[in-house]
Amino acid sequence: MKIPALPFTLTDWSKVPETVHPGETGRALWRTLEVGDIRIRQVTYEPGYLADHWCDRGHILYVLDGELETELKDGRRFTLKAGTSYQVSDFGDAAHRSSTRCGATLFIVD
């Protein structure tokens, strides 16, 4: 990841418009800021959310609140709680998808 030239930028996430992304079950609510090729998001998964796809995109993901279940396509599962993160590459075989029983708020850079 290379951050392009830009001035110091402060983001008030409460003022970034929210978009709704339905999952297989539940919804994901995204607030997105794009800087060059970098996407920065605050994402809230509603309780009962299950992603409707396997994601191959690399991310740095940090759990701000709640609990997130991440499943890799090879069957491995990881539970992340507030204060934990994962990092996954654009390359390799780490296709993943997210779900949550109780809801989760995340900060994601990809």
pLDDT digits (tens, 9 = 90+) for 42-84: 999 999 999 999 999 899 999 999 999 999 999 999 999 999 9
Report the percentage of the chain scoring pLDDT > 70. Answer: 99
pTM summary value: 0.91
Q: Which residues contact 85 (CB under 8 A, 6 or more apart)?
A: 60, 61, 62, 63
pLDDT digits (tens, 9 = 90+) for 58-67: 999 999 999 9
Decide which of 1.10.10.10, 3.30.530.20, 2.60.120.10, 1.20.140.10 is the CATH code for 18-109: 2.60.120.10
Domain boundaries, the chain: 18-109
Q: How far apart are CA 91 and CA 23, in angstroms?
A: 24
The two tokens of residue 70 are 């991440």
